[in-house]
Structure 1
Amino acid sequence: MGNPIPAAPDPIALYVHWPFCVTKCPYCDFNSHVRASIDDNAWRTALLADLAHEAARLPGRRLASIFFGGGTPSLMPPATVAAIIDAATHHWPAAPDIEITLEANPSSVEAARFAGFAAAGVNRLSLGLQALNDADLKALGRPHDLAQGLAALDIAQANFARVSFDLIYDRPGMTPDSWAPELARAIAFGTSHLSLYQLTLEPGTRFTALHARGQLDMPDSDTSADLFDLTRAMTADAGLFAYEVSNHARPGAESRHNLAYWTYGDYAGIGPGAHGRRQGVATARLKKPEAWLAGVAAGSGRSETLLTPDERATEALVMGLRLAAGIDAARFQARTGLPLAAVLRPDRVVRLVDQGLLEQDTQGLRLTAAGQPFVDAVLKQIAA
């Protein structure tokens, strides 16, 4: 299995998974579930117990970020969010500039909680708008309309110093001519961060089934490439630079929590289906909410796997190549125990460098602007 890497001096990140949603979107393959009722006290108790378990295994570290993801974490009671933040910053000393993000969906009921989340300590909100017209919101199965989305964005910007929102593009029927004004409107809202995702047909989702039956007409590959290029050009012109394949920010407004993943830092993951990486160990939780809840009560429901150096290196390669800055070779070796060259197929790297898709030097490896749309294909080519 190889030896675990030594404890890194880097700060850690904490991911908290809240698995519940109002509805299940037809494109979503996340661990999200719809329930008629939720026992908030039981969930708060279980999350705090799961947090204590992780804290006991990562002593003496500094906490750089907390991310409440889902599911729909804006369905959480603000008191539960506050209790988790208080417990986390008791277990680990918080960095002076700790980033605490909560994902939210913009129904009016959830938006009314935003002030409560800010009072609890959340200082960054990530809002799932997904589209800026009612027809596409309905087609995407979103439980809000555009008016609710824009109202939620106004409330978010009034309560949080840092706001990001998500849009899905490359939607059925979309062209550069239809996307350009929508993206221009999104940029004009003035947030410091945008997450812009091309619609992906994930196995097991309703969209994938519809597409297989010929009932969902997706843009062709040339149109998808044009949409990607347009997105890059318009965001760069607005000073929102693509620091990762799908994430755009003004300098200094990048998601520090997500950067911990992409640079292969240690992070603790709690809640149903949550994954973590700590000191070369992969952690995972049971996915079904009720099974996770019972497992925590019984002191179980968790798995830990010591990763080999090859496994760590492959993960670090997959995560790091998504960044515009690419993979830092020195950090890669420190985090995985292997040199970057050990996990690459050098002949294919050379070919992709010659084709203008990759750059490689003594500092590391990165995709060029031409290569970034093809990150998954490049990874398949170069991984040893």
Structure 2
Amino acid sequence: MDFGIYVHWPFCVSKCPYCDFNSHVRETVDQDRWRSALLAETGYWRERIGQQPVRSIFFGGGTPSLMPPATVAALIAEIDAQFGLADDVEITLEANPSTVEAGRFQDFRAAGINRLSLGVQSFDDEALRFLGRAHDADTALAAIATARQTFERFSFDLIYALPDQTGAAWRQQLERAIDLSRGHLSLYQLTIEPNTGFAGAVRRRAFQPMDDDRAADLFDLTQRVCDAAGIPAYETSNHAVPGQESRHNLIYWQYGSWIGIGPGAHGRPVMPDGRRHATANVKKPERWLTQVETNRQGLDEDRSVPAAEQAEEALMMGLRLSRGIDQARFRHRTGTALSDLLDPTAVEGLARAELIVSDGDGIQVRPEGRLLLNSITGQLLDGARGR
């Protein structure tokens, strides 16, 4: 089973109004204390789950490109010393396309990063201002050029379905992104998450989100343009040339094993006794830091996951993949057969409606059903829960 490590750096220069991640703005950060704490939590997990090759490391946030490259290098070295790195390990770092951060790309590569994920979000200055981004389109383009020169593998994010965005405007953005990409794009529809700046703005009627029908049209346009360009969706919001998929995210979606390091980080590690645990760290950075300095771990939740919950989690994750769920892999990962989990009446009805494909090998959501994924998952599970 593939094993990965997620490292969360919680600090940002500013808080974007659409963001509901565990991110915080601080005037100063004690870099030495944070480096020591992240290293200590890495050692704690080595003692708990034993040595096993790490297939992927993902530095997320927050804005992990605000970390000193020396801290990134120290963490990679410690993970290698504690667990061992797979020969083809993927080590991704999220970055903003600011001039300062782009100027450090070479240092991050020297530290061991071999894949970059850029938070571009748009090539339109007005859209970037609306999204609260600190960069403009020219800065984003310059950062992409620097990433292309520095990393063999990189990706960048775009957000679409902004208020009043037209299909023609989004197509132009998308085609430009495909031309600039190196085989991977993350394309997210704008969603209004609770407790964000945008949620408050919508309540105040500062703007009206795009309606669902228009957003669905843009989703369909995205699929058509990307498919034609040879960069199809391999997951609901992620597109890649075959072979360029994010290995780290595939660990999540295929229900592999991973640990989370840093404040607010979640994990689903498979323990030495074969049981899978659900873990979540304390969110507040200062509380996490103090707890790790005292106990070498920042856990807020740590529990064994019952078999039924594992099966439901694996289903919800796996149905996001365009390839769907392989029945044999699912049973191996969860100990549950798909036929024991799913409501056969719902399976038959959804297949008849041409929203899913289900056979002896597994189950897959058809392109027509991707926007209805939550509803489809609920229907597949609800009847089975009542049995």
TM-score, normalising length: structure 1:
0.96
Partner of 1:68: 59
Separation in 2, partners of 1:343, 1:174? 41
Q: Does 2:272 correspond to 1:281?
A: no
RMSD over aligned Cα atoms: 1.0
Deviations 1:24-56 (A, max 9, x none): 000100000000000111100000001111122
Separation in 1, partners of 2:32, 2:41? 14
* Secondary structure in structure 2 of the residue aligned to 1:371: helix
Unmatched runs of 5 consecutive residues or more in structure 2: 271-275
Partner of 1:32: 23
Deviations 1:165-208 (A, max 9, x none): 00000111112121111111111113210000011111111212
Separation in 1, partners of 2:282, 2:323? 34
* Secondary structure in structure 1 of the residue aligned to 2:25: coil
1:337: how far off? 1.5
Q: Does 2:292 correspond to 1:301?
A: no
Partner of 1:233: 224
- Tell me which amino acid in the other structure corresponds to 2:25: V
- Tell me which amino acid in the other structure corresponds to 1:361: D
Q: 1:266 aligns with which of 252, 257, 274?
A: 257
1:304: how far off? 1.1
Q: Does 2:305 correspond to 1:311?
A: no
Query: Is the 8 Å Cα contact of residues 10 and 61 (structure 2) preserved in structure 1?
Result: yes
- Tell me which amino acid in the other structure corresponds to 1:28: C
Partner of 2:10: 19
- Tell me which amino acid in the other structure corresponds to 2:97: P
- Tell me which amino acid in the other structure corresponds to 1:232: Q
Partner of 2:210: 219
Q: How does 1:1-384 map to 2 (within 5 A)?
A: 10-279=1-270, 280-299=276-295, 300-302=297-299, 303-383=301-381, 384=385
Query: Is the 8 Å Cα contact of residues 263 and 298 (structure 2) preserved in structure 1?
Result: no
Separation in 1, partners of 2:354, 2:204? 38
Separation in 2, partners of 1:205, 1:190? 30
Separation in 2, partners of 1:214, 1:364? 45
1:282: how far off? 0.8
* Secondary structure in structure 2 of the residue aligned to 1:278: coil
* Secondary structure in structure 2 of the residue aligned to 1:122: coil
Query: Is the 8 Å Cα contact of residues 268 and 278 (structure 1) preserved in structure 2?
Result: yes
Separation in 2, partners of 1:142, 1:341? 46
* Secondary structure in structure 2 of the residue aligned to 1:85: helix
Separation in 2, partners of 1:236, 1:89? 38
Partner of 1:5: none
* Secondary structure in structure 2 of the residue aligned to 1:168: strand
Matched length:
375
Query: Is the 8 Å Cα contact of residues 11 and 61 (structure 1) preserved in structure 2?
Result: no
* Secondary structure in structure 2 of the residue aligned to 1:298: helix
Deviations 1:201-257 (A, max 9, x none): 111112122223322222222211110011011111111111000000111000000
Separation in 1, partners of 2:2, 2:111? 22
Separation in 2, partners of 1:134, 1:227? 20
Unmatched runs of 5 consecutive residues or more in structure 1: 1-9
Identity of matched residues, %: 51
1:343: how far off? 2.4
Separation in 2, partners of 1:209, 1:378? 30
* Secondary structure in structure 2 of the residue aligned to 1:126: strand
Partner of 1:3: none
- Tell me which amino acid in the other structure corresponds to 1:360: S
Deviations 1:78-115 (A, max 9, x none): 00000000111111221111100000001111111100
Separation in 1, partners of 2:379, 2:166? 30
- Tell me which amino acid in the other structure corresponds to 2:30: D
Separation in 2, partners of 1:112, 1:220? 40
